[in-house]
A and B are shown apart, each in its own frame.
Chain A
Amino acid sequence: MSDATNTMDRILEDLTDRFRAGSATRQRDDLAFVTVPQNDAVAAVTHLKEFWEFRHLVYFTAVDIIERGLFRLCYMLHSYTHNLDVCLQTEIMRDGATMQSIHHLWAAAAVYQRELKEMFGIDFPGCPRVDESFALEGWTEMPPMRRDFDTRAYSEATYYPREGREKHDRKEIMKKALYPEVDL
């Protein structure tokens, strides 16, 4: 087994021991996705940064899992010394979403958190400038990256659509092509 796999095994084992991590998805030798509970997430990120030398925050984003009423936050970390990527994921409630801020670890995380606040509505109390607008000026609707925000309906209501435009849904086209005899 290569060095990378060895180190990755040790890292994941360490996370499981200390932070109640769930089972990890090993996508490649040097890339793993591991889920930890919400209360342990910031501590796990700090441990990875300080002890395992994952000093680069590649990105910090969220996935809207509306079916289960959750947001999945993804902290993608990279280590230059081990040349590994670990994505630490944690799931938080969708209603009244708040999470502890990590701006004390990386100052740039404040910008990611501002974006999440504007686009998803996840609050990070204590983060500097988190209430300012990130990219949208004068936005008063629901946070637009949430899956229950109907962007097409909003666009048709606010901006004047021009007639003569049709949407070709790939699903419908492939359904008709592959199963023409089925009437759906």
Chain B
Amino acid sequence: MELSLFAQIGFALLSAFIMFVYGLLLMSSMARIRARVQGRIGIPLWQPFIDIIKNNAKRTSISHGVMFYLGPVFRLAGGLGTLMFIPMIFGSRYWGNFSFSGDALLVMYFIFFGQLGMALGAGDGGHPYSAIGISRGLAQMTAFEVPFALSVIALAAQHGTLSITELVAAQQNGVLSWNVFANPAATIAAIIAFLGMSMHNPFSVVIAPQEIPIGPPTEYQASFLGMLQTNRAIFNAAKLVLYVNLFFGGATTFVGLVIKTFLLYFINVFVGVAFPRFRTDQSIRFFLGIPALLGLIGIAIAAIVGGAS
């Protein structure tokens, strides 16, 4: 029995809330694990929640105009939009979110749209060096979109569909049918792009606090910053679930989803703690080199192996 549209929207928003809580817990538990590796104790697990409450409870806030106000709104719209079209639990009536035939491209658009809106908002920020942070962020984003887009195209060519739900359905024939084994080159290219997307080291020059313009969030404070932090959690969780769905066979239970996303986040953390920061031109040159090549090899594999078109 199909759910009514209102019920579908309600469950989609509920899944967004679950992803928000899960994203915050994931960030704090990873910070705590990193701290233990460094010999410290680390932040409490509930610290990001308190940070968001504190930011929203600031009594004054400064706005620099309409675009400044809309920047975080765009970003949150990008984050929520990404989440709405990725099935959280495959095959579930309640947590399957929305799907239609082209939603892989729509999700990629939403990922880009958030950053673009942030750039427009931060440009109105009254900070003289915001432009540097924005140009760095957009340049790096354009660079890592190349291997990511190539690998999505490879998957689409291999399975003949652009709908994420159907891509997950094609991976349900046991572990060996996961895309990580069906098209390893595309998976590796996409995971390298994932490192760029999450802006950990070595690609963290955009938002690292030690950089002079800490990127777009420089002038944002109080409830604006609260909104940006909320989006950070949702966006992180959404990207992880997207990757699990595209390459690791999706998840049919909540427990499976938690395990897979946790392990996938570890790749980020392992690379992040081992590397220093690349400059923007170095990271652009990197992404347009080997990862793009791997993406092209992935398309070649898709053409040879798949070809369901």
Direct contact of A and B (CB under 8 A): no
